[in-house]
Amino acid sequence: MITYEFLQNYWWLLISILGAALVFLLFVQGGQTMLISTKNATYKSMIVNSLGRKWELTFTTLVVFGGAFFASFPLFYSTSFGGAYWLWMIILFSFIVQAISYKYRRKEGNIYGTRTYDTLLFINGIIGPVLLGVAVAMMFFGAEFTVSKANILNPQSSAISQWGEGHGIEAIFNFKNMILGFTVLFLARVQATLYFFNNINDKRMHEELMPGFRLNSILFVVFFLAFAALLLTSKGVSCENGTAEWTDYKYLHNFLDMWWVLIVFLIGTLSVLYAIGRTIFTKGFTKGIWYSGIGTALVVMSLFWVAGYNDTAYYPSMLDVESSLTIRNSSSSEFTLTAMSIVSLLVPFVLAYIVYAWYAMDRVKITKKEIEETAAEEKY
């Protein structure tokens, strides 16, 4: 017999998988941050062509991630997306200019020039990962909101959640949130380089990217260790027997209580570090993106699990601890979760299609000769 609690746990698992896929696909944004510093026009075209095959997957995953949260945990959706709207509006606007840039960058009659659209792609490459990291960090370090479900019956004030005056902007000025934001940014840049090594067949370009790869790897490790230290020493909200209270070292206790999550976290971390180390010390190694991608997915999923499982509030309220959101008090009804669970059985088929499409697009590597021939055809 499938229970309501099982359905809530199941949908939090699906949310964690979508979140992991989104963080992995942010390598597109990481690659976009390299356009401004790339002076060689041919290399720049190779980067854009490489990323242009994948950018829609990132945008689509972001939309699906938000939609899944809306359907399974609507109180979180209304609280975060509806309350911290300035934060989310900046994020969404950056993704809109990304879509416009890929569409019009090389379009005939472009009066702004490719550099204008490259700048917009650069902006999305910075803002997207950093602010998405900030948004996720609030799931650990808290946000400034209160929730009153009784308001839904009050026609004068039907808003369930109330935010502080910043409406999400204040989260950007929390150094804990920004540390995760920069962790995601430098991870995206590391994975972008790994993806280029695998997707672009040009040894000279690989050599030119290597110094930046080393620097981004060092910065990523530093910020990741800082985030891990903050997480393991931070308070979290425990919700047992209908009461919520701040608990010291809550996330450390979650890792220890759910040992299997700790194992997943460590395997994922080692996988990412292996990809970085093997790429730096083994000349010609191009498969690092797969080790890093799988490792990233495992780490992100484990972080979602310690945030939501083990009677933990995955969205702590810094203003009123009783308003903190858990997978128990913020989920859809049992009927809704049951109906959606049937639809979710199609997810493996969708993933299989994505894998096939990825393979079809990357079966032939991008080369300098291909880019130069294409440019010559466009000229004449």
179-213 residue pLDDT tens: 999 999 999 999 999 999 988 888 888 888 999 99
| DSSP symbol at 317 | B
Provide mean pLDDT across the span 29-48.
Answer: 85
Name the least confident of 47-51, 136-140, 289-293.
47-51
Contact between 194 and 289 (Cβ < 8 Å):
yes
Q: Is the pLDDT of residue 168 over 90?
A: no
- Those residues whose C-beta lies under 8 Å from the C-beta of residue 182, and which sit 6 or more positions away, are 130, 133, 219, 223
Provide mean pLDDT across the span 92-107.
Answer: 84
Provide mean pLDDT across the span 169-188.
Answer: 95
Residue 53's domain comprises: 4-379
Better-predicted residue by pLDDT, 149 or 231: 231
Q: Which of 375, 221, 195, 241 is nearest to 299 (CA)?
A: 221
136-164 residue pLDDT tens: 999 999 998 888 765 555 555 556 778 87
- Count of CA atoms in the C-beta half-sphere (13 A) of 241: 1
315-364 residue pLDDT tens: 999 988 998 999 998 899 999 999 999 888 877 877 787 778 777 777 77
The winner for highest mean pLDDT among 26-40, 158-172, 220-234 is 220-234
Confidence tier at 380 by pLDDT (50, 70, 90): very low
Provide mean pLDDT across the span 85-100.
Answer: 90
Better-predicted residue by pLDDT, 366 or 17: 17
Name the least confident of 40-44, 125-129, 217-221.
40-44
Q: Which of 80, 330, 54, 373 is nearest to 188 (CA)?
A: 54
Q: What's the whole-model pTM score?
A: 0.91
Query: Buried b / exposed e across 182-209, counting CB within 10 Å, b at 16+?
Result: bbbbbbbbbbbbbbbbbbbbbeebbeeb
Query: How many structural domains compose the chain?
Result: 1
